[in-house]
Structure 1
Amino acid sequence: MPQWSDYTTGERIKILRGREIRQSDLAEMTGLSIVTIQKAEQDKALSLPTLLAVADALGVDTSVILGQQAPRRAQEQGDRMMIRDLSRAVHDTAAGILPSTAEPATVEELQATTDRCWRLYWRGHYIEAGALVAPFLTAAAARLHEQAAGEQAQAWGVLSDAYRIAGYVANLMGARDLAYAAIGHAQQAAERGADDMRVALVGSGRSWVYLRDARLSEALALAEKSAADIEPRFSRATPEELTAYGSHVNFAAVVASRMGNKERAADFLSQSHATGARMGREVRAHGTLFGPVSATTQAVGINVALGQTGKALALIDSINDVSGLTEAARNRYAMDKALAQADAKQWDASLDTLEATLRSAPHWARHQTLPGVIVQKVGRASTARLRRVSELIGVAPGTHGFLPATAKTAL
């Protein structure tokens, strides 16, 4: 499979343009003539002004067009534009730069927007969530500037929430530098708001950024500290407090499993299951959902990561109803289930699970790397079925490279 650098500059522009943007559309977006766009895509001429205009219109760095770095997996033009707008909002608001049209919303309106962003995020609609966070940040920053000194705690708290969501979206989309920046601003805002719960939530978010950046020991230390900082007394804890704590210890178990530390992972899982059992039901709070079903489904992925396939399959057999989970959590559980089935050499069952999820949640699946990992593991399934699933995720069976889906029709 060709690497990104193997294409010509013109081919890369055509791939990035994709099916949704015609040459005439790109000409209008850049203010260039269609002849100029055609020449660029035919590798006949590409001046610096044209390169800069095309890169800006397509929402990528010039180095991507020149082949010096590959585009992030499965990102389309709309995805790239969202990340660029989100980046500008994060950096500008942190610097105190607001557009002249910025209008401060009420704290109640901002809290409602927080809830809406999280609903989109946990449904797997990451692009929509990120698109909403950008103006949300501006409105939250404007609210903070309107508040009198000594009356800003609530505004700082809401601003921290907005930065945390921005960090989550950026981290999931692979925009690591933006994720670090956003989660750092979220921490500062939470501390300014003097809210211990928000500080711990942000700490857990930073731990996730560390995890995806392969800083495992730091991720585990921070995840463990964040959980310890908000550990409630079970006899008097509210469902919301248990939700936050359960989510934290469960994530600590995830990090420990990625490090191959079975004892610590088991200890955290024990606390997670105990918290879920105490709650008795799934509860949504603080931008997450947790309960007994969440604890069990997430334990499946943790056991898979530890190579404990038998335990993972036993847990899968015990799970009867996942309808109470968020859409993203259900999809992630399905991926963990498919991975466990693949590890057990249940090839056809694994592909059945994977294909059902890819077809039911394509908007979620195209931002995930795990489907490609599962396809690599499945080596003895029906060739036709394997090819069908591979086409859904844009990879070729038996390869480890990735070709943007648009390239299959653009070239």
Structure 2
Amino acid sequence: MGATFGQRLRDVRKRRGLSQRELAAVSGVSLSLIRKLEQAERDGTRLETAHRLAVALRVPTTQLVSDRGDGEPEGSPADQWEAVRRALTDTVRVPGPEEPPTLTGVRAALDSALPLFSTDRYTELGTILPPLIRDTDALAETDPDGKAVRARLMQLTGWLLTQTRQFKAAHVALERALGEATDELHAATTVSTQCWLLLRQGKLDAARELATRWADEVEPRVSRATPAELSAWGWLLLRHSAASVRDNRPDEADQALRLAHSAAIAMGREFAPEKDFLRALGPVTVKLKRAENALIADRPDHVLQLAERVPTSGLRPTSNNRNRHLLDVAEANVRLRRYAEAVDVLEHVRTVAPQWLPNQRYAQDILGRVIERRRTLTPGMRSLADAIGVPL
């Protein structure tokens, strides 16, 4: 159900760090009326009064009067991907420069973009991806080797769009990547991302079945397998486990996690190819996913115990797997009513992954519950809430 006028007023006031008395002084609205509105003794007020409150709180009047419901908050980062979505779906080719793209040039451009993907540089990616997608499309029409480059770009783009909740466009990109996969391992990595996309959409059965089928197909002989083969198999098992634990199939989830652990142990360390970060896997990654499963099973104390045993080395500070784990740690702290600790974790993630964090609805939910349970907010909490996009 939507929030009332009084609830919205109280939430925005808290975010601005004002007491009821201070808001009354700044807005010119009586303290008694503000109290009655926030305590639901009055359902609403005149538009003129709402406007005075909105001016004092520095928000649009409609933000107090109207309930946006479950829609995206204003200023949603989704808008920055419009040009990428167009480049994926437009059938009419945009005229390019007179010189057509070359295989060497496009490969070099994609290689130079890899650090932007692996470190979540969304602003830069939103700018360079549309022309890069169009160049790879043009190249693939004239050069057979260009299809492999396009498959690789589509795989990365599908992963990025899944990360940023652009689900329809992610599906398009991943289907194109799978259709042009150059080998079984490339296809398995793409399917792993497809499973993640299904998980984020809540399609647990489809994710579990897809991960199971492909894990069976690519299962290697562990004693002879290469790190790339173990990584492809291990990630599919992790997707299987994630879908199963969310679908209340704990035994199935544990079995898949044990097999993924065996793959990671056979690798001996974190496998992190320089030019293919999506295949990064190893014992530390599996530990992070074990903690994620523990949180799904509502064992926040166990999450924190596992987190203490996760090595601080072995993963990049900007690793999505590492930062997703830290969100689980923050959530576990919230469930245990350790709100200051949760905020400290979120502040750390904000420091190491400033463009990634605002795209995580999970982070917004975590901090939103902290805000709800505190009478007043520190300046740091208000700044963090604005930075990650907690709705006012």
Which of the residues 281, 284, 295 maps onto 1:293?
284
1:108 & 1:280 partners in 2: Cα distance? 35
Ranges in structure 2 where 5+ consecutive residues have no aligned partner? 5-67
Shift of 1:277: 1.6
Conserved? CA contact 2:161–2:167, under 8 Å: yes
Q: Which has the larger radius of gyration?
A: 2
Match of 2:226 in 1: 238
Using the alignment, how far apart are the partners of 2:209 and 2:371 within structure 1?
A: 37
Backbone CA RMSD of aligned residues: 3.3
Q: How many residue pairs get matched?
A: 325
CA distance change for structure 1 residues 114 and 305 in 2, over 3 Å: closer, same or farther? farther
Aligned counterpart, 2:341:
349
Aligned residue identity for 2:208: L
Q: Following superposition of structure 1 onto structure 2, how do residues 177-196 of structure 1 map, counting pairs within 5 Å?
A: 177-190=168-181, 193=182, 195-196=183-184
What SS does the corresponding residue of 2:222 show, helix, strand or coil? coil
Give the alignment of 1:224-303 within 5 angstroms: 224-285=212-273, 286-288=276-278, 289-303=280-294
Taking the aligned partners of 2:354 and 2:116, their CA distance within structure 1 comes to 15
Distance 2:233 2:109 in 1: 24
Contact kept? 1:120, 1:126, Cα under 8 Å: yes
Contact 2:155 2:177 in 1 (8 A): yes
CA displacement, residues 272-296 of structure 1 (integer Å, 9 cap, x when unaligned): 2222222122222444221111111
CA deviation vs aligned residue, 1:58-114 (integer Å, no higher than 9, x gap)? xxxxxxxxx9994467535xx62x41211121123xx47353427555545544544
Would you say the 8 A contact 1:351–1:385 is kept in 2?
no
SS, match of residue 95 in structure 2: coil
Distance 1:360 1:119 in 2: 15
1:364 aligns with 2:373: no
State the shift of 1:168 in Å.
Answer: 2.1
- Tell me how far apart the structure 1 counterparts of residues 98 and 150 of structure 2 sit (CA, whole Å): 15
**Contact 1:240–1:284 under 8 Å retained in 2:** no
User: How far apart are residue 156 of structure 1 and its match?
Assistant: 2.2
Residue in structure 2 matched with residue 16 of structure 1 by the alignment:
none
Displacement of 1:244 in angstroms is 2.4
Answer yes or no: is 1:120 the counterpart of 2:109. no
1:218: how far off? 0.6
Q: 1:110 to 1:262 in 2, by over 3 A?
A: farther
* 1:304 is the counterpart of 2:303: no
> Where does residue 76 of structure 2 map in the other structure?
75
CA displacement, residues 319-354 of structure 1 (integer Å, 9 cap, x when unaligned): 231452351333222111111222233332222212
The Cα shift of 1:174 comes to 2.4
Letter in 1 for 2:192: S
Identity value in percent: 23
CA–CA distance in 2 between the matches of 1:373 and 1:210? 20
What is the match of residue 125 of structure 2? 129
Runs of at least 5 residues in structure 1 that lack an aligned partner in the other structure:
4-66, 404-411
Question: Are 1:402 and 2:386 an aligned pair?
Answer: no
Partner residue of 1:52? none
Moved over 6 A (4+): 379-382
What is the DSSP-based 3-state SS (H/G/I as helix, E as strand, rest coil) of the residue aligned with 1:124? coil
CA 1:308–1:111: 2 relative to 1, 3 Å: farther
In 2, Cα distance between the equivalents of 1:305 and 1:2?
28
The answer as to whether partners of 2:188 and 2:232 remain within 8 angstroms in 1 is no
TM-score (norm 2): 0.72
Aligned to 2:24: none
* Partners of 1:311 and 1:214 in 2: CA distance: 25
Q: Is this contact kept in 2: 1:160–1:187, CA < 8 A?
A: yes
Correspondence 1:96-115 to 2 at 5 A: 97=93, 99-101=95-97, 105-107=101-103, 109-115=105-111
